[in-house]
Amino acid sequence: MDVKTQSLRGSPPAASDARASDGWGSFAWFLVKLLALVLVFRTFIFSPFSIPSESMLPRLMNGDYLLAAKWPYGISRHSLPFDLALPGGRLLPGTPERGDIAIFKHPIDQRDYIKRVIGLPGDRVAVVGGEVVLNGTRVPRVPAPDVLVPLSPNTDCAWGGEAEPAAVGAGQVCRYKAFRETLPGGRAYTVLDFGPWQADAFAERVVPPGTLFVMGDNRDSSMDSRFPALAGEGVGFVSQDLLVGRAAVIVWSTDGSADWLNPVSWFSAARWDRIGNML
């Protein structure tokens, strides 16, 4: 009787161990599938990026977090883990449209940069008096209402702006002179121009095959294709093989005032009016 009882009592742990083993195996397989899904999502669909500067004001601000669409320009080595090389440079390559906000790798230091596409391969591009001349024709630019940017730990008042009290609530804003620029094809956007600057003159050049001419919307605070490619500075003509994706939507934005030990400040620091904005 004792033997039978011991045998019966010994069987449930074995069954329990088997179920536990199956449970851990299922969980591990779930993690593998989840990892594969995330990898596919980041490689072929969307990938997150943050804005670390004010070169794209007023459209993008320091502290914006956005998703970039990967598929419009094709898949390059920069879309893959560890920058694995691809035959031919890009799979299913696509050329950006004028006016796209493109994310790309700096040709020298390989850091992520974000600028607006102005000139496509074969275009003749010049800058005269701060105004873009595309294929011999000035890109239409008209005065726009001043841009008011709230000052915060993430956003200073640059040399071309004037700080003043905010009309609503506490704090200050920086007032910038703005223009509305319209590219061929009808793509329009707001640019900031503070006045005469060294990059207001750029002699006409033809955009080489397979490259792009890009500029920041904050024209007097952007190291872009008007400057030769140097680490941490200008980018020159940007090879399309360096493209990472097209900026698509702002998914989060913070003014930098949050204290990580104070969860309430996470919400007060959020720029709620920017979250969800399509680009």
Catalytic residues: 55, 115
DSSP letters spanning 235-274: --SEEGGGEEEEEEEEEEEB-S---TT-HHHHHHTB-TTT
- Report helix, strand or coil for 26: helix
DSSP letters spanning 137-203: EEPPEEEEEEEEEE-BTTB---TT-EEEE-SSSSSEEEEEEEEEEE-TTS-EEEEE--S--GGG-EE
* Dihedral angle, C-alpha 109, 112, 116, 118, nearest 10 °: 30
Rounded to 5 degrees, φ, ψ at 169 are 80, -175
Structure tokens at 274: 């920017």
